């Protein structure tokens, strides 16, 4: 008895992939997600004025963390990705590189935050942002370990077939990305950010992180939506 699942893009059965407007909208959304992620990283880096304090490096590192995570997922997109012409093997290598940068940025940002709190003699883990942040970083490390399992299933002697491991890895990755998005949103309510950004601009910053999250969620669900189950 063997059970396996085939996965196919949403809309494939309806011929939507051949519909030019559908393809154009998907390409535009992916490009917009690239621009939004890069724009948020640059603006946050400018607003935090890195080097003025230990804390100033925390927003820089964590915005770079989010950018690398976004690019690490979107590089697999067939629409609007600068790496769309690369082979699958090269995309996987780039994904590993992006996720390595994610871990480095996360560790560095956490280190600066802890150091800043210690110098200021402020308590740790007293806000929703900090609690979500620690949960997100823990999930990121676990997801990276899961990625090693997907890459080397034979070496680790895992019983699950590779397609199922990839499904689990993608699903957990989506959860981590959504956790990171919620963490960024809660950062908008911090005293530092509310003192730096006010009015309409604050609302714009509050909504902008949601757009790349929607694009990433759409990409992952499209790639791994169950189509049919085959049992033999």
- For the stretch 126-176, pLDDT in tens is 999 999 999 999 999 999 998 988 888 777 777 777 778 888 899 999 999
Asked, for residue 6, whether it belongs to a domain, the answer is no
Asked, for residue 10, whether it belongs to a domain, the answer is no
- For the stretch 27-39, pLDDT in tens is 899 999 999 999 9
Asked, for residue 232, whether it belongs to a domain, the answer is no
C-alpha separations of 198 from 49, 99, 188, 205 in Å: 17, 33, 10, 10
Instruction: List the chain residues with pLDDT less than 50.
Output: 1-15, 228-232
Asked, for residue 211, whether it belongs to a domain, the answer is yes
φ, ψ of residue 4 to 5 degrees: the values are -145, 160
Asked, for residue 115, whether it belongs to a domain, the answer is yes
CATH of the domain at 153: 1.20.120.1770
Beta pairing partners, 229: 5
- By residue range, what is the domain housing residue 93? 16-221
Asked, for residue 8, whether it belongs to a domain, the answer is no
């Amino acid at each position: 008895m063997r059970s396996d699942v085939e996965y196919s893009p949403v809309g494939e059965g309806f011929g939507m992939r051949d519909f030019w407007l559908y393809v154009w909208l998907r390409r535009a959304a992916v490009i917009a997600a690239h621009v939004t992620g890069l724009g948020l990283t640059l603006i946050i880096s400018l607003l935090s004025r890195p080097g003025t304090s230990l804390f100033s490096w925390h927003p820089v590192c964590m915005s770079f963390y989010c950018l690398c995570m976004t690019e690490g997922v979107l590089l697999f997109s067939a629409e609007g990705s600068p790496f769309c012409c690369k082979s699958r093997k090269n995309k996987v290598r780039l994904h590993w590189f992006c996720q390595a940068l994610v871990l480095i940025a996360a560790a560095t940002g956490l280190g600066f935050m802890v150091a800043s709190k210690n110098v200021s003699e402020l308590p740790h883990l007293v806000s929703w942002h900090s609690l979500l942040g620690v949960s997100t970083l823990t999930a990121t490390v676990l997801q990276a370990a899961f990625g090693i399992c997907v890459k080397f299933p034979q070496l680790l002697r895992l019983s699950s077939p590779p397609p199922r491991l990839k499904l689990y890895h993608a699903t957990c990755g989506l959860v981590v990305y959504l956790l990171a998005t919620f963490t960024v949103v809660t950062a908008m309510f911090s005293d530092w950010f509310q003192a730096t950004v006010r009015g309409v601009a604050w609302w714009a910053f509050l909504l902008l992180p949601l757009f790349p999250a929607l694009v990433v969620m759409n990409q992952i669900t499209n790639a791994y939506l169950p189509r049919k189950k085959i049992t033999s």
